[in-house]
Amino acid sequence: MPKTIAEINERIKKGDAVVVTAEEIIDIVDKKGVEQAAKDVDVVTTATFGPMCSSGFYFNFGHSKPRIRAQKVWLNNVPAYGGLAAVDAYLGATELPEDDPTNTIYPGAFKYGGAHIIEELVSGKDVRLKAISYGTDCYPGKEVETIINLNDMNEAVLFNPRNAYQNYNVGVNCSDRVIYTYMGVLQPRMGNANYSSAGQLSPLLNDPLYLTIGIGTRIFLGGGIGYVVWNGTQHNPCALRGENKVPKRGAGTLAVLGDLKQMSPNWLRGVSMTGYGVSLAVGIGVPIPILNEEICRFTAVRDAEIYAPVIDYSTTYPQRESDVITEVNYSQLKSGKIIVNGKDIPTGGLSSYAKAREISGILKEWIQKGDFILTDKVASLPSSDSGISLKPLRETTPQ
Partner 1 sequence: MKKRVVLTFPKQTIEEPITYHLIRDYDLMVNILSAKVAPNEEGRMVIELSGQKEMLHNGIEYLKGLGVTTQSLAQDVIWDEQKCIHCTACIPLCPSHALSVDRTQMLVSFNSDRCIVCGLCLKTCPYHAIEIRF
Give me the least distance between CB of 391 and partner 1, in Å please. Answer: 30
Give me the least distance between CB of 324 and partner 1, in Å please. Answer: 21
**Closer CB to partner 1, residue 108 or residue 161?**
108
Do the Cβ atoms of 49 and 202 come closer than 8 Å?
A: no
**Closer CB to partner 1, residue 11 or residue 334?**
334
Q: Is the peptide bond before 66 cis (omega within 30 degrees of 0)?
A: yes
**Closer CB to partner 1, residue 49 or residue 317?**
49
Give me the least distance between CB of 56 and partner 1, in Å please. Answer: 18
Known active-site residue 296 = no
**Closer CB to partner 1, residue 233 or residue 335?**
335
Catalytic residue among 53, 138, 174, 238: 138
DSSP 173-213: --SSS-EEETTEEE-TTTT-EEE---GGG-HHHHSTT-SS-
Give me the least distance between CB of 66 and partner 1, in Å please. Answer: 41
Tell which phi-psi region holds residue 263, choosing left (phi > 0), alpha (psi between -120 and 50) or beta.
beta
- Say how far apart CA 306 and CA 295 lie, in whole Å: 17
| Cβ atoms within 10 Å of 305's Cβ, excluding its own | 17
Do the Cβ atoms of 355 and 333 come closer than 8 Å?
A: no
Give me the least distance between CB of 102 and partner 1, in Å please. Answer: 16
Please name every residue paired with 228 in a beta bridge, in sequence order, or none if there are none.
256
User: Residue numbers of the site for partner 1 (CB under 8 A)?
Assistant: 49-51, 107, 111, 180, 184-185, 187, 191-194, 269, 271-275, 279, 281, 334-336, 345-355, 357
**Closer CB to partner 1, residue 187 or residue 262?**
187
- Say how far apart CA 315 and CA 175 lie, in whole Å: 8
* Alpha-carbon 60 to chain mean position: 24
**Closer CB to partner 1, residue 354 or residue 379?**
354
Give me the least distance between CB of 11 and partner 1, in Å please. Answer: 31
Give me the least distance between CB of 299 and partner 1, in Å please. Answer: 20
DSSP 254-319: EEEEEEGGG--TTTEEEEEETTTEEEEEEEEEEEEE--SHHHHHHHT--GGG-EEEEEETTTTTTT
SS3 of the chain: helix, strand, coil, percent, to 5: 20, 30, 50
CA-based R_g, the chain, Å: 22
Do the Cβ atoms of 162 and 54 come closer than 8 Å?
A: yes
- Say how far apart CA 95 and CA 81 lie, in whole Å: 10
- Say how far apart CA 202 and CA 191 lie, in whole Å: 27
Do the Cβ atoms of 207 and 44 come closer than 8 Å?
A: no
**Closer CB to partner 1, residue 97 or residue 237?**
97
- What amino acid positions are annotated as catalytic residues? 138
